[in-house]
Amino acid sequence: MPLTEDQIAEIAELRSVSQPTLRATAPGMEQHLYTAHEVLDHGFVRVIDYMGDDAAIVQAARVSYGAGTRKSRDDSGLIRYLMRHWHSTPFEMCEIKLHVKLPVFVARQWIRHRTANVNEYSARYSILDREFYIPAPEQLAAQSTVNNQGRGEVLTGEEAARVLEFLKADAGRAYDHYEQMLSQEGQQGLARELARMNLPANIYTQWYWKVDLHNLFHFLRLRADAHAQYEIRVYAEAICNIVADWVPAAYAAFEDYRLGGANLSGKALDCVRRMVRGEQVTQETSGMSKGEWREFEALLS
């Protein structure tokens, strides 16, 4: 279970107290505040704070001071224009701060997105919990034979059981030794900053992650993609659900132009034009490499 009874009680207490404010609020996001959305076997995502809404994006683009006589469809149209033409600064007017609990190996992928403010739980000062990510059987896949970064067929039977046993046993043994190094009977234990190096990459860590909406959309475009690694994609999908309630007009534009759209190279666009004119185009006549052509065919299929 990702949360302890004490943590659940603390969240309930936080959500029971409301404060009057003159700042703009997003009703959809207010429903998410402090609530932990469970991810994987021990992880979660929860909103700690946020700033701005769809109106803040429009306000920044128009440099206006109020709603005036504009209609919501006008705001939605402007947001779609901004998204379509890759404008960035109006989306930077919105920010979100998340509390995320995630496996260390997922955190190391996540931190590649360097456009956020991060404060992570420190194993130099505190002792990590005995919590490890153990994949569900349907996520135990072999290495892909066509993609060096991807997965192939799901392991089954004895092979799957063998891998699961390795993951569980190795994680448990590493944590046992971690505990023993920290506290040795009759003598001073090893420093926490040294003992932590023996822990496996599937142990859970936590951090606060604050990012503006423009850079969050960039993160989600890559990590909510169907080709992203499953273990980070499920976090991105949980965040997508939150953002859709926070800035519905902006998220709808993002979903249309980024998640559901595609960028074409000059050669690919030329091929589409030739196809529309009725020409039979092949990889040999496209001017693309085999890899580019394979991706282009997948895009059109």
Active site residues: 223
pLDDT tens digits, residue range 39-50? Answer: 999 999 999 999
Report the SS3 class of residue 285: helix
Task: State residue 8's pLDDT score.
Answer: 85
Q: What are phi and psi of 151, to 5 degrees?
A: -105, 155
* Rounded-to-integer distance, Cα 54 and Cα 254, Å: 12
123 labeled binding residue: yes
Has 112 been labeled as part of a binding site? yes
289 annotated to bind ligand = no
Name the residue among 76, 81, 126, 134 with its Cα closest to residue 105: 134
Which pLDDT value is given to residue 64?
Answer: 63
The end-to-end CA distance of the chain, in Å, is: 41
Spans of the chain, pLDDT less than 50 = 69
Q: What is the pLDDT of residue 122?
A: 93
Question: 110 a known binding residue?
Answer: yes
221 carries a ligand binding annotation: no
pLDDT tens across 171-219, in order? Answer: 999 999 999 999 866 678 899 999 999 999 999 999 999 999 999 999 9
pLDDT for residue 86: 94
On whether 54 is known to bind a ligand per the annotation, the reply is no
**pTM of the prediction?**
0.90
Q: Can you give the pLDDT at residue 47?
A: 97
How far from the centroid of its chain's Cα atoms is residue 30's Cα?
20
